[in-house]
């Protein structure tokens, strides 16, 4: 592997000053499961790697019980999210996604922030955060700004991050009662594989557990960047959710998707799987709401 | 340019000078001569280099040696007793046919140890989930899963024996 100098700042400000001192030749690193591979393969050739691992404030996972807002530091590992009972119970869509990213070894090192910033079209970590209306907090040489998680992505492997900017954390607004959610990573196998298609569904019902008041249908590998099937979402709102309605929503989502043929699979297959899994995840949402989760 | 680090390797405190771009796998195999940890793909795909850092299974090929400073590291070399007695997980892999060519075995065994240390009653699905990042090209995995289940039972019998 190419030699580099490893810098270990303990605050976001210190990390940014390191970056400013070495700008062109420096790169940030979180868990390292993507960056180290890129350096080994020669796709990234930094003279300085700035480790974010020791920045304590970026490693916190915290739910504000008063406001109901969830805050996920960018350095929180997939394994930490997977092991959290709070995530498993209150945010099943996030649990579904992070528990199948990479392998356990990768999840023990890899971080949710690194997964987002790597910006692969499959973005297992992004789909649930988009469905949960997540907001990303960025901090760079020019100060702080925030954006919706879905707006982080410009193109495959490209985000809106400016040079020197760091994704600090993601916040999830309080979730309404009677909300269910689920994510399917569809592929040949779960571990160490990018999905053929990723489908996340979140549904909120009104007090009578009948009419849908909010729907999110988020798709990975269905377009160059993670997308929402907003036509299908709008179709569901105001309706009583039945299997027949979910089948129609799946058809709408499949039509809205911009899937294409790739070495991993065909557009046709991806479209069919969107139909199947929007229905299945929708039914899962209903089952979870019924269970009282 | 080197950085001094200190860490605990299989129970013993160690100091080492490391270069910033060395992986933990490089430190173990090339600098310390501990070749029990294997290099398969070098990209975190195969799990042959699995070691345990502060109780968590990680790929040594993706872990920078400098990041080991202050941490507790367990490798396959630390499992057998000083008289050569195999660790119950190792013995179960031998008994159940979980080893053929042996290249994936150190990684498989370290993944199993990390799991059973945390969850001594791990079931079949837990074991599959924990070992999904370890590739074996010989056994077809069935004997490996059986080995881990046998190791779990052997370890819980031993623990039960101690409690009585």
Residues sharing a CB contact under 8 Å with residue B126, sequence separation 6 or more, in sequence order:
B115, B119
Q: Mutating which of B5, B19, B21, B104 best tests the A interface, going by the most A Cβ atoms within 10 A?
A: B21
Structure tokens at B131: 């070992």
pLDDT of residue A161: 97
pLDDT of residue B162: 63
Of A149, A123, A124, A129, the residue nearest A137 (C-alpha) = A149
CA A50 remoteness from chain centre: 23
* Chain B residues closer than 8 Å to A106 by CB: 44, 59, 62, 133
Contact B21 A103 (CB under 8 A): no
The segment(s) of chain A belonging to CATH 3.30.465.10 are 56-172
Burial class (CB in 10 A: 0-12, 13-18, 19+), A83: middle
Residue of B nearest to A103 (CA): B133
pLDDT of residue A23: 82
The Cα angle at residue A36 between residues A262 and A30, in degrees rounded to 5 = 100
Residue A79 has pLDDT above 80, yes or no: yes
In angstroms, the separation between the Cα of residue A42 and the nearest Cα of chain B is 13
CATH number of the B2-78 domain: 3.10.20.30
How far apart CA A203 and CA A212 sit, in angstroms, is: 7
For domain A56-172, the question of CATH label 2.40.30.10 is answered with no
Structure tokens at B117: 């240390």
* Chain A residues closer than 8 Å to B133 by CB: 102-106, 191-192
pLDDT band of residue B55 (cuts 50, 70, 90) is very high
Q: Return mean pLDDT, chain A.
A: 95
CATH number of the B88-163 domain: 1.10.150.120
**Model confidence over B57-82: pLDDT tens digits?**
999 999 999 999 999 999 999 999 99
CATH number of the A5-51 domain: 3.30.43
Q: Mutating which of B20, B27, B44, B119 best tests the A interface, going by the most A Cβ atoms within 10 A?
A: B44
Q: Where are the domains of chain B?
A: 2-78, 88-163
How far apart CA A24 and CA A47 sit, in angstroms, is: 9
**Model confidence over A172-220: pLDDT tens digits?**
999 999 999 999 998 876 666 778 899 999 999 998 888 999 999 999 9
Residues sharing a CB contact under 8 Å with residue A211, sequence separation 6 or more, in sequence order:
A205, A238, A239, A240
Which CATH number fits the domain A179-291, given the four candidates 3.30.390.50, 3.10.20.340, 3.30.70.270, 3.30.465.10? Answer: 3.30.390.50
């Amino acid at each position: 592997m190419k030699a580099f100098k490893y810098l270990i700042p303990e605050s976001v400000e210190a990390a940014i000053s390191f970056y400013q001192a070495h700008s062109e030749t420096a790169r940030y690193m979180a868990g390292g499961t993507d960056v180290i591979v890129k350096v080994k393969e020669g796709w990234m050739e930094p003279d300085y790697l700035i480790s974010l691992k020791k920045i304590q404030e970026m490693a916190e996972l915290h739910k504000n019980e008063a406001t109901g807002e969830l805050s996920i530091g960018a350095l929180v590992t997939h394994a930490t999210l997977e092991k959290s009972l709070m995530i498993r119970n209150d945010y099943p869509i996030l649990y579904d996604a992070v528990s199948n990213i990479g392998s356990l070894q990768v999840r023990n090192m890899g971080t949710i922030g690194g997964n987002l910033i790597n910006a692969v079209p499959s973005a297992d970590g992004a789909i649930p955060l988009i469905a949960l209306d997540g907001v990303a907090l960025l901090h760079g040489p020019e100060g702080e700004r925030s954006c919706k998680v879905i707006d982080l992505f410009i193109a495959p492997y490209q985000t809106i991050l400016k040079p020197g900017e760091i994704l600090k954390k993601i916040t999830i607004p309080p979730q309404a009662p009677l909300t269910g959610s689920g994510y399917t990573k569809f592929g040949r196998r779960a571990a160490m594989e990018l999905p053929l298609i990723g489908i996340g569904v979140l549904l909120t019902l009104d007090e009578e557990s009948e009419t849908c008041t909010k729907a999110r249908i988020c798709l990975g590998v269905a377009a160059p960047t993670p997308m929402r099937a907003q036509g299908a979402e709008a179709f569901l709102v105001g309706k009583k959710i039945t299997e027949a309605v979910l089948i129609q929503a799946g058809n709408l989502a499949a039509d809205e998707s911009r899937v294409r043929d790739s070495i991993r699979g065909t557009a046709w297959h991806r479209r069919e799987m969107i139909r199947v899994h929007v229905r299945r995840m929708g039914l899962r949402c209903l089952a979870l709401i019924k269970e009282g989760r | 340019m080197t950085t001094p680090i200190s860490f605990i390797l299989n129970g013993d405190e160690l100091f080492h000078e490391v270069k910033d771009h060395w992986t933990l796998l490089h430190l173990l195999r090339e600098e310390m001569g501990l070749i029990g940890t294997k290099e398969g793909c070098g990209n975190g795909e195969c799990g042959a280099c699995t070691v345990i850092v502060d109780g968590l299974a990680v790929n040594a090929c993706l872990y920078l040696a400098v990041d080991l400073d202050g941490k507790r590291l367990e490798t396959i070399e630390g499992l057998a007793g000083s008289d050569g007695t195999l660790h119950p997980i190792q013995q179960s892999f031998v008994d159940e046919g979980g080893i053929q060519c042996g290249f994936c075995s150190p990684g498989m065994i370290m993944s199993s140890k990390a799991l059973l240390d945390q969850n001594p009653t791990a079931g079949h699905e837990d074991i599959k989930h924990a070992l999904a990042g370890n590739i074996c090209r010989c056994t077809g995995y069935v004997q490996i899963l059986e080995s881990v289940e046998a190791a779990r039972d052997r370890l819980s019998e031993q623990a039960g024996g101690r409690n009585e």
